[in-house]
Amino acid sequence: MKNSNPLGKEKIPKLLLKYSVPAIVGMVVNSLYNVIDRIFIGNSPDLGSYGLAGITICFPIMIILMSMGNLFGVGGATLFSLRLGEDRREDARNALGNSIIMLAISGLTFMVLGQIFLEPILSLFGASQTVLPYSVEYMRIIFFGAVFQVISMGMNNFIRADGNPKIAMITMFMGAGVNIILDPIFIYILRMGMAGAALATILAQAISATWVISYFLGNRCNNKLKFKYMKLKLGIVLKTIALGLPGFFISVSNSILNAILNRSLLIYGGDVAVSGMGIINSLRTMLLMPLMGIRQGMQPIISFNYGAKKYKRVKTAAGLAIVAATAIVIVGYATIRLFPVQLISLFNREPELVQFSSYALVTWFMCLPIVGFHIVGSNYFQAIGRPKSAMFLTLTRQLILLIPAVIIFPKYWGITGLLHATPFADFFATLLTGVWFYHGIRNLEKEEAEQVSKALAAEIK
């Protein structure tokens, strides 16, 4: 049947592959927006390390923009999946319609505020007088495309939850592909500099947003977008926000972290350190995006089956996702340890920048092998409708451990201390997630046992 959903029937390993592989590919491709910009900018003789520093300063602001996609996209898609699992289709479609309106409003608001306060924001986020013109040129155009990025990113979660992960992957391929084609044309051929990189990005996002909306207006979707579902309802808005807050606060805290980090890098290492961290952020994005893909692929499976009270399937999906995430980060860790100089040289070959960045890369990712468990384990709670637990685990790493470490460590150990802040936070955050996840699974097992007892009692009667 057209409206049947395989999430509650197919084998979990097959489902996880079906949903996670396209999400992984899509997330990696989607991450190429920023990475490709940095590669072309870093290798441009007109821009070089100053251009890299400029886009690094912009990164925290773009994270806040992406947080809007997390708030209303991930939150809405989680509610959408839970309601489908409970066989409440009208409520699921209302979650879809309300989310696209909230995404559009947030994108337009971000665009207006960004244009008004651009230079003060960039200065606050650590732009030196040398780097500020590069950042302004880039972000001025990015802000104009804010609504496209928020809609394409947020609504793509619904395509996946609607049962079409391959189409969600195509969306990301389409946007990143256009960006990759336009970047060298605008930067090298037309010599448009930072503005060219930004223009390539927003044109690609506009195409992706158009594609996503056309999917929900066409016949390929299982839950069509209609105007009657787009009337905002307070209950749906509040529930969407509650479910999306963990991802939102992850992004916002990450933005705050990057802003503080950029200022500390400028103080203890200068513009070279800021440029180097820009490269490390790009590599970090490429390394962790597969984990985000697993997280996205896992979410509708766990949410649907938890809503349908199929607890054994929930446990199986969570366990397999953790194993897959851990395997990916171990491969990434080995690559970093073996080829640090080669990875840095993809972005820029200035000797001073390569020397700093190679050391920083290895140090920054010292605890990478355990990060997969932390990301998947904390997201498990969001998938089962416990956003407060997911938010607590994530914010503990960012706000309680990492940001204080970024501020305090360099006061005693300089730039070396600053670079050791991340492995410190990764270790203790993962330890806390392990304790939380253990008790979460035990509670799930209790619910499963109660369900079996009620079923047996009903049979006896």
pLDDT of residue 4: 56
Q: Report the share of the chain in percent with pLDDT over 90.
A: 36
pLDDT greater than 50 at residue 258: yes
pLDDT greater than 80 at residue 61: yes
Rounded CA separation 360/93 (Å): 47
pLDDT category of residue 60 using cuts at 50, 70 and 90: confident
pLDDT greater than 70 at residue 38: yes
Q: Please, are residues 19 and 165 in contact by the beta-carbon 8 Å criterion?
A: yes
3-state secondary structure the chain: CCCCCHHHCCCHHHHHHHHHHHHHHHHHHHHHHHHHHHHHHHCCCCCHHHHHHHHHHHHHHHHHHHHHHHHHHHHHHHHHHHHHHCCCHHHHHHHHHHHHHHHHHHHHHHHHHHHHCHHHHHHHCCCCCCCHHHHHHHHHHHHHCHHHHHHHHHHHHHHHHCCCHHHHHHHHHHHHHHHHHHHHHHHHHCCCHHHHHHHHHHHHHHHHHHHHHHHHHCCCCCCCCCHHHCCCCHHHHHHHHHHHHHHHHHHHHHHHHHHHHHHHHHHHHHHHHHHHHHHHHHHHHHHHHHHHHHHHHHHHHHHHHHHCCCHHHHHHHHHHHHHHHHHHHHHHHHHHHHCHHHHHHCCCCCHHHHHHHHHHHHHHCCCHHHHHHHHHHHHHHHHCCCHHHHHHHHHHHHHHHHHHHHHHHHHHHHHHHHHCHHHHHHHHHHHHHHHHHHHHHHHHHHHHHHHHHHHHHHHHC
Higher-confidence position of 102 and 3: 102
When pLDDT is averaged across residues 153-171 and rounded to a whole number, the result is 85
pLDDT greater than 80 at residue 266: yes
When pLDDT is averaged across residues 442-458 and rounded to a whole number, the result is 79
pLDDT of residue 5: 65
pLDDT category of residue 3 using cuts at 50, 70 and 90: very low
When pLDDT is averaged across residues 33-41 and rounded to a whole number, the result is 77
pLDDT of residue 30: 64
pLDDT of residue 167: 86
pLDDT category of residue 26 using cuts at 50, 70 and 90: low
Higher-confidence position of 4 and 54: 54
When pLDDT is averaged across residues 162-185 and rounded to a whole number, the result is 85
Average pLDDT, the chain: 87
What would the two tokens of residue 144 be? 């104009």
10-19, 232-241, 242-251 — most confident range: 232-241
pLDDT category of residue 1 using cuts at 50, 70 and 90: very low
pLDDT category of residue 271 using cuts at 50, 70 and 90: confident
When pLDDT is averaged across residues 27-40 and rounded to a whole number, the result is 73
pLDDT of residue 2: 42
pLDDT of residue 185: 93
pLDDT category of residue 253 using cuts at 50, 70 and 90: confident
Amino acid letter for position 42? G
pLDDT of residue 419: 94
pLDDT category of residue 211 using cuts at 50, 70 and 90: very high
Over the stretch 335-387, which tens digit does the pLDDT of each residue have?
Answer: 999 999 999 988 878 888 899 999 999 999 999 999 999 999 998 998 888 87
When pLDDT is averaged across residues 253-280 and rounded to a whole number, the result is 86
Instruction: Please state which of the ranges 272-276, 313-317, 333-337, 435-439 shows the lowest mean pLDDT.
Output: 272-276
pLDDT greater than 70 at residue 214: yes
pLDDT greater than 80 at residue 250: no
Q: How far apart are the first and last CA of the chain?
A: 35
Over the stretch 311-331, which tens digit does the pLDDT of each residue have?
Answer: 889 999 999 999 999 999 999
